[in-house]
Structure 1
Amino acid sequence: MDKGILAVADKVKKEKKKPGRIRKFFSMTRLTGFLLLLGLLAIQVVNPYPLEFMRNKTFDMYQRAQPREVISRPVTIVDLDEESLATIGQWPWPRSTVGDMVANLFRMGAGVVAFDMAFPEPDRLSPSKIADNVTGLDAALEAELRKLPSNDEYFANIIKQTRVVLGQAGFDREIEDQVHRPPVKKSIGFRGEKPHRFVPILPSLVRNVPEIEEVAAGHGFFSLFPETDGIVRRVPTLFQFDNNIYTGLAIEMLRVATGRRTILATTNQNGVQSVAIAKGLVLPTDQKGRVWPHFSKHDKAKYVSARDVLSGVVDPAMIKGKLIIVGTSAVGLLDIRATPVEGTLPGVEVHANVIESVVDKAFLSRPNNMNGAEFLLTLGAGLIMIILVPMIGAKWTLILFALIAGGSGATSWYLFSEQKLLFDAGFAMISTLGIYVQLTYMGYAAEEAQKKQVRSAFSHYMSPALVERLAEDPSGLKLGGENRSMTLLFCDVRGFTSISELFDAEGLTKLINKFLTPLTNVILNRQGTIDKYMGDCIMAFWNAPLDVENHEREGCISALEMIDSLVEVNERLEKEAEEEGRPHIPLRIGIGLNTGVCCVGNMGSDQRFDYSVLGDPVNLASRLEGQSKTYGVTIVIGESTYKNVQDLACIELDLIQVKGKTEAVRIFSVLGDDKVAQKPDFIQYAEHHAELLKAYRDQQWEKVREMIVSANQMIDGLKMEHHGLYDLYEERMQDYEKNPPGADWDGVFIATSK
């Protein structure tokens, strides 16, 4: 472990000792959050088109989810439909025909008749126009035609006797040959400020011919101005042309129907507030004087065909007492619109929706204070995130955000569905989510930077799993040496000298890497730490510098998995040997494991030191690895390790006094995992081996020999290969028969080699 590790640990400690709550509160993360919040609030105040678009789409979604239910039908639409055009002829019809239709409507009891169209030019089918345009007429017939009244006069005479509202069209662009006539009589009054600076100005106006315009009961704009995305959401009640204020078609119809001479527009410094038609008929508007109808789905029940009106076969109940709008659903007449609830809807039905919303009090409203409420929601929710995310973490604040978003969304829906108020919580929630993500990312980035420091400092000394644990909690690092209970592992390749003679220096290096890599991966995957490589030998340990639960078991399971990993390595090496035409010697390893209290920490000089371990248990683990070949087994473990892995398939090997030790130690071998230990055949074998070992220590040599035969048969049945253990016992018994150990022999064997 190098000085970089000390620096990381010191930094971790200093972070915990930083004074100043105010300085800590106004961290870089929070300051960035404040700046982001200010920027989002500025966007909300400016209200650019994308924000307005998003808000409108939210309100569209509400209307699609809950379109207005048609309760009453005060309006009937006389439809210039395809059937009418096919029967009577293409539009425009003679004004005399239109006049007859109006007369029929009033004979059936119509309340008001309005036209969702204009008559800007004299009727070209009037008798005098025919006399002008047809050549070859005799003088008498021409004179008679010129004496007849024009179709416009005929139409005007009918309008004069009834309550008809003529339509006017406004354009947002200049049109050629614009005629500026004196305005028709005023039908609007003002309360408060005049609305001229708020009401949309129309550069052009298409009016009706003077003969019929002068006798009409009312005049209203039928123009609809879709928003940028082509959807009609809001319908103007007021228009401005030549500095004069005019009313919309639906508003003018209601004025005429209620017998009022004027309507009243209320305006303050924020814009138009409302348009009052009569007592109880007050329309809330936005600052530009537009109403926001709660649209219904397309309603065919309010339509009658103009053909049926002219022929007199229409149901009288559809006409009597109704407000009649003459319009068209014919595609060729180009009056098809899109609304929040319908992709295609005849424009005339939009005006019907306005009147129905007035009668049923179903207007949507977005008071000016809604902007302030939405601003405060963005501010409040953003501040909560800025304060709490660094304080309580991302998980809990995400739950809090979900509660705030859910509550805000539910409130927005409640206000729409129950109060008909339009409140947009969408931008506030998107802003809050953006702040949450920004704060979480910055916290994550800072944490990752600290983790990167830890990984960089410790990756050469610890397993990746332990490095990650330490990176997650750097406070777990303790500097300097400390005593810990640890499990040590030594692994060495048997007969490596003979194997190395088959390769040159480069080939030998590649060979070592090929088998050390899988063995190392096994250790690291089991939370072990590689202490060092010594040629073909590996030294590793568990439970330092961080705790590893059941480290004895992790070490033994690692040893078993290392044996398994060599199978694939040997298969690959054998194939390579065949391809290169050289002999193949399978790799076999011996492993020793021991557990005990060791001193672990920084070992070395002032200029260079490593994180390593010292202690008698380390030396014993190395000696046990050396004894694995002697005892004919792959894994040898000490008694302290065995005490914590008795659920594995283990057998006792011997009492041995290893070289360099004055006391005997009991050693064991691990032959398989817990699944092997639970097999009935192994249980029988382990009991038999224990009896054999007792007879051996009791110096019952003949009995031991008989039991060895059975033991070898059991080993074959279990597909194990440690027959060398019993060969060792036989060799020793032969020696003891020549040189008896004595009656007081305690069964200890004194090793003379490492």
Structure 2
Amino acid sequence: MFKLLQGYRGRALLVGLLAFLILAPLSFVKPGQTLEYLGLDLGYQLRPSQPSPPELLIVGIDEPSFQELRRAWPWPRRLHAELVRRLTAAGASLIVFDVLFADPTTPEDDRIFAGALGQAGNVLLAQTVSITQDPHFSRRILVQPEAAFRKAAKGVGLAMITPDGDGVVRHFRLHLYGQETLPALAARCFQPRIDLPPHLSGLINFTGSNRSIDTVSYYQVLDEKHPLPPSRIRGRIVLVGRMLEASPTPQAQADSFFTPFFAKDSRLMAGVEIQGHIIHTLLRGGWGRELPSPARVLWYLAVFLLVSHLLARLSPLKGLAAVVVLVFSILGISLGLFLFLNFWVPPVLVCGGLALIFGGNVLGHYLIEAGEKRWLRQAFKRYISPTLVETIIAHPERLELGGLEVEVTVLFADLEAFTSLSEGMPPHDLVRILNEYFTPVTRIILEHQGTLDKYIGDAVMALWGAPVPFPDHALRACEAALCMQASMGPVQQEWQSRGLPPLKARLGLHSGPVIAGNIGSLELFNYTAIGDTVNLASRLEGANKIYGTSILLSESTYRQVAEVLLLRELDLIQVKGRGQPVTIYELLGQRQGTGLPEWLEIFEAGREAYQRQDWDVAVGHFQTVLRLKPEDPPTQIFLTRCRNFQEQPPPPDWQGVHVLESK
């Protein structure tokens, strides 16, 4: 298989056939057809509206007619008889009722209506098929008008509307369930010489969306005070049917359907108007044609094989560009054929096939290149983080010299009192201690997706957010710092068992912009970060020895983790090399619940009193903290400061800033 994929011809054949075997069968089932219908509906919506068919007039049983006639449905048939007489007198060529007269009403009304049908001699009535389904059988019953009406009418046709599988009306058929449809009968009666194949079916040639056929209300035909001009009726096919958006009675159902225009105007189309569009389609011979199924299958096969052959020779980026061009070309050709020739070539699944082929070729490129990438992993994984290895593999251009400005969190960590310990210790013992310290620290950095920048004596520098950006880089760094402190317990026990002092780790973290990238010479370089952010993180690590703390954060890091971690606002300090003071925070652990420990709340109250120079109140608070948390170094420091300020107050411009004299 791998050798087959290595040759572009074999890969093209395999990918093209797979796309064909997936999508060709899909075009014959409902999900695939529904997708193709979306493209067809777009074609309908893009077509310009045509003039209203001059041979058609719709008499709508609509809301205004219910209001004017003030009658509940069903209306008396003598009313329909009067309508027929008025239309006949005005010169209607053909009257088509899209209303079912299947049940008798009063004998007098039925007699009057039958008489009007016979006198007119040009009325077509509707019939339908009632389908009763049962788990064991399906029964079809032809529901016809009353016998007297059938005898008096010019003809009876099937008035059923047949939506596609997705519920949208797009197609017509001349015969259904062995019966001629009402539009086919109307077209034959209006134009006797028309030649319609008995099994004809196709796409309805809608002249437009709702009310694109000339329409009047039912009551307007009966209005004696304001009669319609005969020219509005003379020589036309007059369709009579319901055009209700809301049904006033259960018997007068709205009889409306989804059409391709629903997505555009959110309006259903009345069944009688759809019948009118079908009649117009038949009279003009303009029904839409579709690519036959055998031709569609060959179309899929040809396109898929040709395109897969093309894409197999291109890089993924060029292949993507080619696919985009081909997709727009196929969509444009398909829509053009429909708009100008009324011929529909389905494009959606073909375009989906192009996407599959593109994905298959990208996979082929990946399999080929995977072997080339393995040596990069083997070469670098022992020296830098796995994330950085993957970044180099994905972007080898980043190995070039240079850097980018990125937002990161920098961590510095070192061992307290290691320098004095190393003065009287053999070098190999020092190396052993450092290895025992660096091993868990490095593992934790990599586990938290950090980048190990460098070892500097007993110090470690790491960063989060470069070369791979993380929105939560500050939280990852802080959680790594907590894990480092937790990992020191077993290491310190091992050192004590060998008679060594329990060296403590001190950590400083700061978030901000750095220049990160490969820095060095053309021959030798190292991925690192430089900038003021790095310097401040180093200063915060050193500040731990002043406050007797283990982990200190800057305010920029604090703002990103305050809702998740438990922190103590410690002091406002001025470090060497920076013009502005920095608020520092001690990282205590994970936050448990929404409240703070009692001692921490009291400490914060003491800090507030300290800032207000309310030394007596501050002393009281700090003494309380020491009772709850004995020998807390920061509290002892502030208690000492307050007592000193009680004896010798600070200068008037004092802002609570503590100046660090050393780095």
TM-score normalised according to structure 2 size = 0.58
Give the superposition deviation at 1:499. 6.0
Q: What letter matches 2:209 in structure 1?
A: K
The answer as to 2:197 corresponding to 1:266 is yes
How many Å separate the matches in 2 of 1:561 and 1:98? 92
- Is the CA contact 1:297–1:341 (under 8 Å) kept in the aligned structure 2? yes
Q: What letter matches 1:166 in structure 2?
A: L
Give the superposition deviation at 1:120. 1.3
**Secondary structure of 1:428's partner?**
helix
Q: What letter matches 2:171 in structure 1?
A: R
After TM superposition, list the pairs within 5 Å mapping 1:512-523 onto structure 2.
516=455
The answer as to 2:176 corresponding to 1:239 is yes
Give 1:204's aligned residue: 141
Match of residue 579, structure 1, among 532, 543, 548: 548
Give 1:303's aligned residue: 215
- Is the CA contact 1:78–1:304 (under 8 Å) kept in the aligned structure 2? yes
- Is the CA contact 1:153–1:212 (under 8 Å) kept in the aligned structure 2? no
Give the superposition deviation at 1:44. 4.8
How many Å separate the matches in 1 of 2:14 and 2:424? 65
Alignment deviations for residues 168-196 of structure 1 (CA, whole Å, 9 cap, x no partner):
332351399xxxxxxxxxxxxxxxxxxxx
How many Å separate the matches in 2 of 1:564 and 1:55? 57
C-alpha distance 25-304 of structure 1, shift in aligned 2 (>3 A):
closer
C-alpha distance 97-307 of structure 1, shift in aligned 2 (>3 A):
same
C-alpha distance 61-576 of structure 1, shift in aligned 2 (>3 A):
farther
Q: What letter matches 2:542 in structure 1?
A: L
C-alpha distance 49-82 of structure 1, shift in aligned 2 (>3 A):
same
The answer as to 2:243 corresponding to 1:329 is yes
C-alpha distance 407-561 of structure 1, shift in aligned 2 (>3 A):
closer
Give 1:365's aligned residue: 289
Alignment deviations for residues 482-535 of structure 1 (CA, whole Å, 9 cap, x no partner):
xxxxxxxxxxx9x9853636999798664897971787769xx99xxxxxxxxx
**Secondary structure of 2:260's partner?**
coil
C-alpha distance 388-105 of structure 1, shift in aligned 2 (>3 A):
closer
**Secondary structure of 2:157's partner?**
strand
Alignment deviations for residues 420-446 of structure 1 (CA, whole Å, 9 cap, x no partner):
111111111101211211221342254
How many equivalent residue pairs?
A: 447
How many Å separate the matches in 1 of 2:126 and 2:235? 24
How many Å separate the matches in 1 of 2:91 and 2:335? 42
Overall identity of the aligned pairs, in %: 21
Give 2:521's aligned residue: 551
The answer as to 2:273 corresponding to 1:349 is yes
Match of residue 413, structure 1, among 335, 339, 355: 335
Give 1:158's aligned residue: 116
How many Å separate the matches in 1 of 2:211 and 2:146? 33
How many Å separate the matches in 2 of 1:521 and 1:111? 91
Give 1:74's aligned residue: 55
Alignment deviations for residues 523-579 of structure 1 (CA, whole Å, 9 cap, x no partner):
xx99xxxxxxxxxxxxxxxxxxxxx99826976997x95999466324313314641
Q: What letter matches 1:340 in structure 2?
A: P
Q: What letter matches 2:127 in structure 1?
A: A
How many Å separate the matches in 2 of 1:567 and 1:502? 31
After TM superposition, list the pairs within 5 Å mapping 1:6-85 onto structure 2.
24-25=7-8, 29-30=11-12, 32-40=14-22, 42-44=24-26, 47-66=28-47, 68-85=49-66
Q: What letter matches 2:131 in structure 1?
A: R
Alignment deviations for residues 721-753 of structure 1 (CA, whole Å, 9 cap, x no partner):
xxxxxxxxxxxxxxxxxxxxxxxxxxxxxxxxx
- Is the CA contact 2:304–2:354 (under 8 Å) kept in the aligned structure 1? yes
How many Å separate the matches in 1 of 2:112 and 2:532? 110
After TM superposition, list the pairs within 5 Å mapping 1:707-746 onto structure 2.
none
Which has the higher Rg, Structure 1 or Structure 2?
1
How many Å separate the matches in 2 of 1:367 and 1:31? 25
Give 1:99's aligned residue: 81
Match of residue 206, structure 2, among 274, 294, 301: 294
Q: What letter matches 1:341 in structure 2?
A: F
- Is the CA contact 1:51–1:427 (under 8 Å) kept in the aligned structure 2? yes
Q: What letter matches 1:227 in structure 2?
A: D
Q: What letter matches 1:266 in structure 2?
A: P
**Secondary structure of 1:266's partner?**
coil
Give the superposition deviation at 1:30. 4.9
Give the superposition deviation at 1:103. 0.8
How many Å separate the matches in 2 of 1:161 and 1:471? 89
How many Å separate the matches in 1 of 2:527 and 2:40? 63
Give the superposition deviation at 1:225. 2.0
C-alpha distance 114-577 of structure 1, shift in aligned 2 (>3 A):
same
Match of residue 98, structure 2, among 92, 99, 116: 116
**Secondary structure of 1:114's partner?**
strand
C-alpha distance 470-162 of structure 1, shift in aligned 2 (>3 A):
closer
Give 2:488's aligned residue: none
Q: What letter matches 2:32 in structure 1?
A: L
How many Å separate the matches in 2 of 1:219 and 1:520? 91
- Is the CA contact 1:113–1:324 (under 8 Å) kept in the aligned structure 2? yes
After TM superposition, list the pairs within 5 Å mapping 1:357-396 onto structure 2.
357-368=281-292, 371-396=293-318
How many Å separate the matches in 2 of 1:557 and 1:92? 86
Query: Which stretch shifts more, 107-116 or 354-363?
Result: 354-363
Give the superposition deviation at 1:58. 1.4
Alignment deviations for residues 250-290 of structure 1 (CA, whole Å, 9 cap, x no partner):
22122222245xx75537xxxx3x4xxxxxxxxxx24xxxx
C-alpha distance 121-552 of structure 1, shift in aligned 2 (>3 A):
closer
The answer as to 2:184 corresponding to 1:251 is yes
- Is the CA contact 1:364–1:422 (under 8 Å) kept in the aligned structure 2? yes
Give 1:438's aligned residue: 360
After TM superposition, list the pairs within 5 Å mapping 1:311-710 onto structure 2.
311-312=223-224, 313-330=227-244, 331-332=246-247, 333-334=252-253, 335-342=255-262, 343-368=267-292, 371-448=293-370, 450-460=372-382, 471=393, 497-498=419-420, 500=422, 510=437, 516=455, 551=521, 561=530, 565=534, 568-576=537-545, 578-579=547-548
**Secondary structure of 2:210's partner?**
coil
Q: What letter matches 1:52 in structure 2?
A: Q
How many Å separate the matches in 2 of 1:511 and 1:382? 56
Alignment deviations for residues 57-106 of structure 1 (CA, whole Å, 9 cap, x no partner):
21112112225423433211112223333425222233222112101111
TM-score normalised according to structure 1 size = 0.52
Q: What letter matches 1:315 in structure 2?
A: P
**Secondary structure of 1:339's partner?**
coil
Q: What letter matches 2:345 in structure 1?
A: F
**Secondary structure of 2:238's partner?**
strand
How many Å separate the matches in 2 of 1:175 and 1:95? 32
Q: What letter matches 1:74 in structure 2?
A: E
- Is the CA contact 1:78–1:327 (under 8 Å) kept in the aligned structure 2? yes
Alignment deviations for residues 348-371 of structure 1 (CA, whole Å, 9 cap, x no partner):
111111223345554322252xx3
Match of residue 90, structure 1, among 51, 59, 72: 72
C-alpha distance 440-36 of structure 1, shift in aligned 2 (>3 A):
same
How many Å separate the matches in 2 of 1:444 and 1:105? 74
**Secondary structure of 1:203's partner?**
strand
Q: What letter matches 2:197 in structure 1?
A: T
Q: What letter matches 2:548 in structure 1?
A: E
Give the superposition deviation at 1:390. 3.8
**Secondary structure of 2:185's partner?**
helix
- Is the CA contact 1:168–1:206 (under 8 Å) kept in the aligned structure 2? no
How many Å separate the matches in 2 of 1:470 and 1:175? 65
**Secondary structure of 1:363's partner?**
coil
How many Å separate the matches in 2 of 1:557 and 1:454? 16
Q: What letter matches 2:296 in structure 1?
A: E
C-alpha distance 405-324 of structure 1, shift in aligned 2 (>3 A):
same
How many Å separate the matches in 2 of 1:237 and 1:552? 80
- Is the CA contact 1:234–1:293 (under 8 Å) kept in the aligned structure 2? no
RMSD of aligned alpha carbons: 4.4
